[in-house]
Every structure is written in C-alpha cells, then in structure tokens.
Amino acid sequence: MTVAGGDTMRAAVIREHGGPEKVRVEQMPRPSVEAPDDVIVRVRACTLNRLDIFARQGISGPGVRAVHLPHISGVDVAGEVTEVGMGVERWRSGHRVVLYPGLSCGHCGACARGEDTMCRHYRIFGEDTHGGLAEYCRIGAGNLESLPDDVPFEQAAALPTAYTTAWRMVVTVGNLRPQERVLVLGAGGGVGVAAVQIARRLGAYVFGVTSGSDRAQRLEEVGVGRVIDRLTEDFESVVMNETGGSGVDVVVNPVGGATWRPAIRSLAMGGRMLICGATIGDDPDLSIREIYQSHRQILGAPLGNRQDFRSVLDMLSRGEIKPAIHATMPLEAVAEAHRLIEEGKSFGKVVLLP
C-alpha cells in the first residue's frame, strides 16, 4: 500500500480503543513544517510507556488525558532532524537529537522557574499530539536536545520518560544520599530499573521488588543488593528483618494500589515515599497515623522537568549509565511490544525502530 510522492509514512495508528490488536501499522500523512519553530524529525528509535497502553485502551483520568482518534502514540523519541521552520536557527537537517516530551506555555510563573511540568497548560508530546511511533514526527525546536554521535538512538530514547522521572524522584524531590537505604517497587519496570541505576550511581543500598528469576538476576546485575520476589516473599518483612527493624530511608513506588500500606510501614522514622504512578490501583488503603507519627513523607511527581532530563542525558553522554533495554523490535511488532509492557514481564524499556 505504498503511495508515491513521499508525502506519506508508516505509522502505528490507533483507530479505535481496545486490545493490542487495535494498534496497526499503516500509511499516514507525513507531518510537515507548519509553525516557524517546527522541526520534523526522522524517528530512529521510540520506546513504549504505560501512556501508550492507556492511549490504546482509552483510559483517562487524573493525569491521563483521553486521546483523539485516530492517534499515533509514542512519547520517547530519538532521531535525526530532516526539516526545520523558518524561525529555527540552532537545528539543521542531519542533526542527531532526542526529544523532551513536555509541552508547556513557556511564559507562566512555573515555566519561568523551570518547572515546566507544573505549567497549567502542560501537555505531553505523543499523548496530546501525534507522537513518535512513526517514520517522522513534528515537534517545536525548543523540545530538542543534541545527541552526541557515540550515544545510540535506542539508549537515548529510553531516557525521556523513565529515566527523567526516576531522576526527578530519587534526586530532585527525594534528595537521596549515599549512605541511605532504598526500596524500589516494580524494580523491573522502566521507571523501576532507572531508579535502581540512579540510586546505585549515588551510592545507596537498594532493595528491589520484582517477580521471576530472570528479572531477579538482571536486577542483581544492575546493582540491587537484595532482590525480593513478590510472589514468594513479603517485602515489608524482608526489609524489616534486614534493616534490624529500622526500615528504609526511601521507597520508590511507581506501582501504587495495595503496595502503599506495607511500603509506608517499611519506611524508617522520617523516611520518604516517592510516587509517580498507580499502575495497580489509585485508591490505596492507608493509615494517616502511620505517616505523621513517624515523621514520614509522601512526595510525588508525574514526570521530570527539562533540567531533570538534561541531567540524565548528561549522565548517559558521559557513559555513567546504560539504560536497560528489554527488546528492540521493528515498528511492525508494535502490538507485541504493547503486550510485553502490559503483561509487566519486560525488564527495562521496549524499543521500536520505525
């Protein structure tokens, strides 16, 4: 079904909500420069997130907006510039780039402070616009960061959501210190592995909760000191036993739901739980007294800001971190990639190559 003329492209399109079979690769109009600061990027790698699953399923709610159909999802993109608008000076065709997916107004108080994710007009590329699960995408020039020649596209595309969010939680909001002990829930997921790697980089001791021996082994390889298999062990008991009853200083919890109460109980006096997701439930059981009586804190962030993104990009560029990649697949395998994320069996990121 190739159309001559070069004005179409292959894209993973969601035309109706439903199961993984609802995302299909087909020909779509190729994006072109419309505004003076628009840039067209040839997508070389795009990684999947929960947002891609929500977009396909039609799930919306606090923090997750309904998408307009037909939709091309894909938040995390690395590629090459192919075309720029008249107002773009910094970027030229052929430049290697990675995209920061946050779209903000650029002039409100939050934006002026650099807290673009707190902008009232904050939107996300690939959720509120067509994203990167296609041969080409369009984004404003201000969202690009330069990618050094020796950093592979697949690794760069792992950063924008998972690693930026993990940095936001562990470093910017969580202020993790080298001597501290951390418990990472969902440690095999995108944000989980990123949090483990960043916490280890800072020198902290890490407990990681996952399921299955494959992922347990891979968590040990990225530096988890004690892997807890949630199918056979109770993480609160393990943490309490192995910390002599004092608990951990920090819990990273991208999971939510029924993990909240034992996670809060696993915290030491003055400990903090860092949250960025509710993949297994948004309405947890909790005890208010268990929080304030022990000076515990709960701190949240939906995504990192531009500075958080630059921090992880610098770390990757200096070779200080190697993003965990579960699988690299052609765009045509997008439905299978959705299944991998949805079943929660992957370790790290799933990359698609359009």
Measured CA to CA, the distance from residue 7 to residue 224 in angstroms comes to: 48
What is the C-alpha end-to-end distance of the chain, expressed in Å? 17
| Of residues 94-113, those binding Zn ion (CB under 5 A) | 104-105, 108, 111
Asked if residues 293 and 271 have their Cβ atoms less than 8 Å apart, the reply is no
Asked if residues 43 and 354 have their Cβ atoms less than 8 Å apart, the reply is yes
Q: Binding of Zn ion at residue 119 (CB under 5 A)?
A: yes
Closer residue to Zn ion, CB minimum distance, 28 or 119: 119
| Of residues 206-235, those binding Zn ion (CB under 5 A) | none
Least distance in angstroms from the C-beta of 123 to Zn ion: 11
Closer residue to Zn ion, CB minimum distance, 68 or 107: 107
Least distance in angstroms from the C-beta of 122 to Zn ion: 7
Which segment (1-9, 61-69, 118-126, 168-176) binds Zn ion by CB under 5 A?
A: 118-126
Measured CA to CA, the distance from residue 262 to residue 256 in angstroms comes to: 11
Closer residue to Zn ion, CB minimum distance, 114 or 330: 114
Least distance in angstroms from the C-beta of 112 to Zn ion: 8
Least distance in angstroms from the C-beta of 142 to Zn ion: 12
Closer residue to Zn ion, CB minimum distance, 111 or 337: 111
Asked if residues 106 and 62 have their Cβ atoms less than 8 Å apart, the reply is no
Measured CA to CA, the distance from residue 330 to residue 24 in angstroms comes to: 13
Least distance in angstroms from the C-beta of 304 to Zn ion: 16
Cis peptide before 302 (omega within 30 of 0): no
Measured CA to CA, the distance from residue 89 to residue 38 in angstroms comes to: 11
Closer residue to Zn ion, CB minimum distance, 119 or 312: 119
Measured in whole angstroms, how far is the alpha carbon of residue 123 from the centre of its chain? 15
Measured CA to CA, the distance from residue 27 to residue 150 in angstroms comes to: 32
Asked if residues 132 and 139 have their Cβ atoms less than 8 Å apart, the reply is no
Q: Which residue is nearest to Zn ion (CB)?
A: 119
Closer residue to Zn ion, CB minimum distance, 119 or 191: 119
Q: Which helix (H) or strand (E) is 268 found in, with range?
A: strand 267-275
The 62-101 contact track toward Zn ion, x by CB under 5 A, reads ----------------------------------------
Measured CA to CA, the distance from residue 133 to residue 74 in angstroms comes to: 5
Closer residue to Zn ion, CB minimum distance, 119 or 321: 119
Least distance in angstroms from the C-beta of 297 to Zn ion: 27
Least distance in angstroms from the C-beta of 127 to Zn ion: 17
Kindly state the number of chain residues that form the binding site for Zn ion, as judged by CB under 5 A: 5
Which segment (7-15, 56-64, 76-84, 115-123) binds Zn ion by CB under 5 A?
A: 115-123
Residue with tokens 């903000």: 104
Asked if residues 248 and 236 have their Cβ atoms less than 8 Å apart, the reply is no
Site for Zn ion, rule CB under 5 A: 104-105, 108, 111, 119
